[in-house]
Structure 1
Amino acid sequence: MAISLAFHILFAVAGMAMPALMTLAEWRYLRTGEPAALELAKRWAKGTAILFAVGAVSGTVLSFELGLLWPEFMRHAGPLVGMPFSLEGFAFFLEAIFLGLYLYGWKLLPPKVHLATGVGVAICGTTSAVFVTAVNAWMNEPAGFVYVLGPDGVGQFTEIRPWEAMFNNAFFSQALHMVLAAYSAVAIAALGIHAWALRRSPDSAMHRTGLRLALLLAIVSVPAQLVSGHHSAQHIAEYQPTKLAAAESLFHTQTRAPLALGGLPNEETMELEYAVELPGVLSFMAFNDFDAEVKGLEEVDRELWPPVAVVHVAFQIMVGAGTAMLLIAMAGGGLWLLHWRGLGPPPWERRYFLIPAALATPLGLIAIEAGWVVTEVGRQPWVIQGYMKTADAVTPMPGLATPMIAFSLLYLFLGVVVFMLLRRHVLVTTDAAPEPDVAPEGGEA
């Protein structure tokens, strides 16, 4: 299921943020009548449709895996997580309806109505992901029930309060962080793709417009993601201190706790080796106080430690990728500002900006994958924090290696197909302007 999730999440984040980009491109066309913006909107719409289709298939696989691989989890947690899952289904179907109207309504709907369907795709895609995130937030900080032990010694969730369960303490910080992560990752990916295309076709108006809009989204979303990350760190420090300690490989409780850059944790000696430490920074991140006390792994039994090395390395990858994304967004924004002041060409005409921007294309997706490793592995050995261990929730059956290998090969094949389709629909430059099916404001189609 981890492999399925790692594959599906790439399409889930695209379903959240790509509709915003395609709608932004169409809005620009309606405002300016720029043919390149219309061409870009149509190409981004085709890319969104491709990603949506594969995401729907991989998401369906996950729904089956929940029941087949985690029967004990679903038996106990089903009444508590059933509502957000159901609402996610409604949001998904609404997203599909709006996407169908958007794809096939270019010549059939009034321009502003067509634009509104794109907004509907963006809203429903984000809402769908937020409802799923609510389930994971509940697993991290379960709420909305009374837990009682039965006569057989097995715990049961009773007196279910579904709204309280969905809007648990972790919901806001985790949902906000996930939404901003999706927008940041997709913005940087689109920025890098169009930067790479501009190195080959520097006169392409479509790719210039694409880079401009992607950079605008990155300038807004990436710094906001940094702020939400700080909020998430403070929340985890209060409610899941073991996860934070594992992420930073902080074995001993201490005041003025350092932020570790790099390093390899040694669980036997309970030391972090080869790390560069910034004194007091972790305390500030967790409690806005450089002298605050941060709990270490020594506070809990060793059998309740997550795999420290995995969580620490994943956290370092996430933070490193996020920092690089911030530098790219701020560099692009700074060059754009200089251009506005008449101090040189815009960033899409500066080759020394296009090269690092192109190299940054996968950073956001890498950060998301690493962030979910921190979230899931950092909660171990619990599948429901404090109530049910992962070992007690999984199906105890042999012979799963064969379907795992088969699904992995299928995902690899689908990934190659998606790459080829996106390359054809988004990157290939044509000289012919698209037919203006949607009229700019004041014009006629």
Structure 2
Amino acid sequence: MMDDFIAARSQMAMSLGFHIIFACIGMVMPFFMAISHFIYLRTDNKVYRGLTKAWSKGVAIFFATGAVSGTMLSFELGLLWPTFMEHAGPIFGMPFSLEGTAFFIEAIALGFYLYGWDRLKPWFHWTTGVIVGLSGLASGILVVAANAWMNSPRGFDFVDGQYMNIDPIQAMFNDAWFSQALHMTLAAFVATGFAVSGIHALMILKRKNVVFHTAAFRISALSACLAAVLQPISGDISARDVASRQPAKLAAMEAHFETQANAPLIIGGIPDETGETVNYAIRLPGMLSLLVHGDTTTPVTGLKDIPKENWPPIAITHYAFQVMVTIGVSLVLLALLYFIALVKRKPWLESNWLLRLFIIATPLGYIAIEAGWVVTEVGRQPWIIHGVMRTADAVTPMPGIVYSFYLFTAVFVSLSGIVAFLLYRQIKMVGKLYDVTDPAYQRVD
């Protein structure tokens, strides 16, 4: 049986792994809904009215599940990491408080939106949907700001084991918040966009309500592809930021052991921590130095120059980083292919092979997000507050955490199963409720 420390870390990892999917969908789907609604208001095309209503039901489902999983996470922080919350709560509590405010605004706006059809003035009704999206996006950015503080603690002086001169504003706008928020926001649009477009591509391929699903595919695919081509820029910003603040994390990401100029970029490979090398890797000479410092002469710090007790788990961090980058590059290539189809090769847009590529891409964005969070969290170890508090010193002394881990795992698996069932029913019903060939289509709600 695992010990309580590993059980506590596993429970947080499992909870975050589920919640991040719900949160990303909750951040992005309201914008797809608002875009569809905008097109309907401008064109009076009933296809987009039906699409907006269908997507709004999905928004409601993920708002509810995100609220439940987020509430569970807030309890887990206090229950599993009481020492961390005792010291860190007064410092980084502001983004959590503001996130609660954004959540309430989102809930109110969503209520107006869902029940506002044919009751509110059309453009005011659309505005409430935009507010749902903006407040959901703000919630996500504020939570990421709190996580960024754990990677780049600011807004206090640490003197003789005491936290003095606390400045919550400086803590919230720490050195890492912008790069992490930008990277996470784009990742949410990439993952959700490709997931949604992949589902609708499957429906088109099955020749089910093609007009409806084509409209949905165009909105989601274009959004995903735009975000995908911007994501490498945010990734470069994030990597440079990590290199300056957390050299051990960068070294683990790249399995980079030797401090050297003209440091190679490592692709693939199997890290050997005992031999302090990487086997079977492709090395691109000088590329890591160039990406991190903008030149090949500035050395990149290797793990050998960092005390071993401060090393992150190298293999996990390296593999997760490789998965994230590989998927990111693949989705950029698919995005470029889609843009070529839009501009130069219009017949490709109706081809089965392009639809199949989007179907294959359906889960990839979320796999990349999960891998990215592994890099962020595992790569920060052994610190819960980087350079200030070790994770082992923050865990609860309460025994029996392993049973809590089993219980919470069962709850999250059950919650995910219910969500999957509801979405399956929703997708099946779409073809019947919003069939544009049905004369009753305009009055189906």
> Normalised by the size of structure 2, how large is the TM-score?
0.93
The match for 1:294 is 300
Q: Residue 336 of structure 2: which of 330, 339, 360 is its match?
A: 330
Cα deviation 1:286-343 (Å, max 9, x = unaligned): 122234321111121111100000100110111111111112211111111124xxxx
| Aligned residue among 256, 263, 272 for 1:257 | 263
CA change 1:434–1:164 in 2 (3 A) is: farther
Provide the residue aligned with 1:200 in structure 2: 206
159, 172, 175: which one aligns with 2:165? 159
- Report matched runs for 1:12-31 at 5 Å: 12-31=23-42
User: What do residues 335-393 of structure 1 show as CA deviations (whole Å, max 9, x unaligned)?
Assistant: 11124xxxx4252x110101111011011111111101100100000000011000000
Which residue identity is paired with 2:431? T
Partner of 1:399: 400
Matched, 1:88 2:99: yes
Show CA shifts across 1:229-251 (max 9, x none).
01111111111111000000001
1:142 aligned to 2:153? yes
Aligned match of 2:230: 224
SS in 2 for 1:109: coil
Aligned to 2:361: 360
> What do the CA deviations read for 1:375-418 (whole angstroms, capped 9, x no partner)?
01000000000110000001123212222112212211221221
The answer as to 2:164 corresponding to 1:182 is no
Closer, same or farther in 2 for the Cα pair 1:291/1:36, shift >3 Å? farther
Deviations 1:168-187 (A, max 9, x none): 11111111111111111111
1:70 paired to 2:72: no
1:434 Cα deviation after fit: 4.1
The secondary structure found in structure 2 opposite 1:429 is helix
Using the TM superposition, give the Cα deviation of residue 101 of structure 1 relative to its aligned residue in structure 2, in angstroms: 1.0
Please say if residues 22 and 44 of structure 1, whose CA atoms lie closer than 8 Å, have aligned partners that are also in contact: yes
**Residues 437 and 168 of structure 1: CA distance in aligned 2, closer, same or farther (over 3 Å):** farther
Per the alignment, residue 123 of structure 1 pairs with 134
Match of 1:191 among 176, 188, 197: 197
Shift of 1:205: 0.8
Q: 1:383: which partner in 2?
A: 384
Residue by residue over 1:196-220, the C-alpha shift from the partner in whole angstroms, topping out at 9 and shown as x without a partner, is 1111126511110111001210222
Stretches of 4+ moved more than 4 A in 1? Answer: none
Distance in 2 (alpha carbons) for counterparts of 1:203 and 1:73: 52
Q: Deviations over 1:242-286 (max 9, x none)?
A: 100000000111112222111110000000111112222222221
Tell me the secondary structure at the aligned position of residue 442 of structure 2: coil
**Percent of aligned pairs with the same amino acid:** 50
Structure 1 residues 326-335 or 359-368, which shifts more? 326-335
User: Could you say which residue in structure 1 is the equivalent of 2:442?
Assistant: 435
* Distance in structure 2 (CA, Å) of the matches to 1:193 and 1:410: 26
Bigger shift: 372-381 or 422-431? 422-431
One-letter amino acid of the counterpart of residue 98, structure 1: A
Q: Is 1:80–1:165's contact at 8 Å kept on the other side of the alignment?
A: yes
- Contact in 1 for aligned 2:255/2:314 (Cα 8 Å): yes
Task: Measure the CA separation in 1 of the matches of 2:241 and 2:262.
Answer: 18
SS of match in other structure, 2:278: strand
Cα deviation, 1:30-64, whole Å, max 9, x if unaligned, reads 12222221111111111111011111001000111
Specify the alignment match of 2:417 in structure 1: 416
Name the residue aligned to 1:321.
327
Q: Is the 8 A contact 1:242 1:297 kept in 2?
A: yes
What is the CA–CA distance in structure 1 between the aligned matches of 2:427 and 2:299, rounded to whole Å?
Answer: 50
Q: What letter matches 2:289 in structure 1?
A: S
Question: Could you tell me how far 1:437 is from its partner in structure 2?
Answer: 9.2
Aligned match for 1:345, one of 333, 347, 363: 347
Per-residue deviation, residues 128-168 of structure 1 (Å, max 9, x unmatched): 1111111111110101111111xxxxx11111111011101
* CA distance in structure 1 between the aligned counterparts of 2:289 and 2:197, rounded to whole angstroms: 35
Query: 1:106–1:437: 8 Å Cα contact kept in structure 2?
Result: no
More moved, 366-375 vs 194-203: 194-203
Give the AA of the match of 1:393: A
CA distance in 1, matches of 2:307, 2:62: 44
CA contact (8 A) 1:189 1:364 kept: yes
Asked if the contact 2:348/2:354 (under 8 Å) is kept, the reply is: no
Residue 7 of structure 1 aligns with an amino acid whose one-letter code is: F
Q: Secondary structure at the match of 1:108?
A: coil
Q: How does 1:28-43 map to 2 (within 5 A)?
A: 28-43=39-54
Aligned to 2:17: 6
TM-score by length of structure 1 reads 0.93
Q: Comparing both structures, which one devotes a greater share of its residues to helix?
A: 2
Which of 271, 281, 300 does residue 287 from structure 2 map onto?
281
Of 275-284 and 20-29, the range deviating more from structure 2: 275-284
- Quick check: 1:215 aligned with 2:221? yes
AA paired with 1:411? F
Distance 2:343 2:103 in 1: 39
- Give the letter for the 2:14 counterpart: I
> What is aligned with 1:47?
58
RMSD: 1.5
Which amino acid is the alignment partner of residue 412 of structure 2? Y
* Matching residue's letter, 2:388: Y
Secondary structure (helix, strand or coil) at the match of 1:345 reads helix
Distance 2:25 2:159 in 1: 41
Structure 2 unpaired stretches of 5+? 1-11
